[in-house]
Amino acid sequence: MVICTTPFEVTAKNIARVLGIPDYPFTKVQHPIGSCTLPELKVRAEVAYQQALSILLEG
């Protein structure tokens, strides 16, 4: 499962396209994460978890 922050969404999509999997699903979380407090990280982790669960259950 690929998790990226929102500013890197374009890069993630381009890498997937170059690798021949343009529709590769990945999770996106709000940027930044390096300066987040623990409660903020927990919220972002929950968002990523819900997205990942959806992606994994579709496949």
What is d(CA 52, CA 29) in angstroms, rounded to the nearest whole number? 11
- pLDDT attached to residue 1: 86
pLDDT tens digit string along 16-42?
999 999 999 999 999 999 999 999 999
- Of residues 50 and 1, the one with the higher pLDDT is 50
Cβ(39)–Cβ(11) under 8 Å?
Answer: no
Q: 4 near 24, Cβ under 8 Å?
A: no
Model pLDDT, residue 12:
96
Q: Give counts: helices (H), strands (E), the chain.
A: 2, 2
pTM for the complete prediction? 0.83
Mean pLDDT (the chain) is: 95
Q: Say what the pLDDT of residue 59 is.
A: 64
